[in-house]
Amino acid sequence: MISSHFDNLPKLTKEDAFNILSKNVNFIDLASDYYKAIFHLAKYPSADVEDKLIAFLKLSSDEIAVRIGKRKAIEVLASFKCQRAIPLIAEHLNSNDQYIVENSIIALQLLNCKNPEIVNHMSNLLDQNKHNQRILIQTISRLGGKKEIKKIAKLIENKKVPSEIRGAAIAAIIRINGEMKYSGELKKHLRLTNQQKRLLAVKDIIDSERIDLLPYVLKSPVPTSFRVKAIKALWPKSELEINNMNLFSAIESTIIDDPKNINFIKLIPNCTNIDSLVKELFSTDFDRSYQALYKLSDFKADEIWDVLKAYTYNSKKDYGVLYFFVNLFGLKSDWSAPALNEIRNILEFALSDTWPDFMKFRAKAITSLSILFPVLCKKKLSQFLNESLTPYWINRFAALMCIEKFLDNQFINKNEALELIKGSLSDNNFYVCAKAKKLLHIHLKI
């Protein structure tokens, strides 16, 4: 379960949560009490918890505390895969609370509700134009298929519809009946100047199941986590080659993330000196950050460090900025000794237990460590390859990339490499396992 600020509160037992939900709304202490109780009940999947949540959904009160609780109850019942709650959740599509409606739509999708009447009801909500049309389109297309396609198609024909709605509709049409007439727009949406819309474009391409658009996603100025999601979602299971693309190349280019491979969208004006470029690494728009990274790579490391060192403390507070700092470190190999001392601290900080293993900068920190501090990296390889210590697969894949690099430059002997790689042959992740097998076959001739 995703952590929440409610996890910082004293834990509630199932009985405590039941008692809160049994109270009349006039006798609870805070408007968030019902929500808090239901949040904790999510940790106790069982029939009696389902009964309690279903009973709560039947409350007719329109008090804010009840509405907040219902939003969470619908979400939890869906996470429980509670099929018997479908009729009651469907009734909440008529709620005056837009968030209850939205949660109900998402829940019905998660519950794979293909009841024609319920799907048609959701389809009719599209005409009202007051609910989240993007979520409605995604849900209807997955549950209703061709029966509801006409209403979705109408949205595409309307040129005034925002890109995020058009993108979802185009993806739905492609997936349902293979209609490719508007498919080029999905690629164009990756070039939108609004970053949030580019992120939605990646999701639309994933929904469209168009693997031929993956190369454009991999060059788009979006977080690497979105590119990784696209690879995982679009690449056929157990295939290493498809459409003249290589699986390992796709993953490795995403981890290396050379800014020279990014297709920039809107060039940054009047941004040529190092100080202004470093400040752009703090931008929330990755298009600007990648451009700054690209331009900074042309300067000498000492020139960069003279400016960069003043920003290193602040970089540790922002995981987006930390990613670009870690990337920049690996782009240059001529850092001074004082710079390397601080860079090592930052890389070790990025790879420390301070951060969850899934943070996007960790794989890049591993490869940058291998470039600047190969001895230290080699010492840590067994840790990086351990599934228990390094649960996120892409970090283990990055460690195998380091071994491959060390083999190429003879920094590691074959027996040592073999011992490290052996464990990855039984890795639970297909990509990691396949990479390990390739290393044995190509580099170790086994």
Backbone angles phi, psi at 162, to 5 degrees: -60, 155
Give pLDDT, residue 175.
87
Structure tokens at 230: 């696209």
In the chain, CATH 1.25.10.10 sits at 1-113, 274-443
Give pLDDT, residue 10.
59
Cα 296 from Cα 275, distance rounded (Å): 10
E strands along 6-148, which residues? none
| Top CATH class, 1-113 | mainly alpha
Give pLDDT, residue 145.
66
Give pLDDT, residue 5.
47
- For 152, residues 6+ apart whose C-beta sits below 8 A from its C-beta are 126, 137, 140, 141, 169, 172, 173
List per-block mean pLDDT (blocks of 10 residues) for the chain, which spans 446 residues. Answer: 48 92 92 94 96 96 95 97 97 95 96 93 86 91 80 85 93 87 92 96 95 96 96 92 94 97 90 91 95 95 96 87 96 95 96 91 97 97 96 97 95 92 94 95 75
What is the distance, to the nearest Å, from the Cα of residue 13 to the centroid of all Cα atoms in its chain? 32
| Top CATH class, 274-443 | mainly alpha
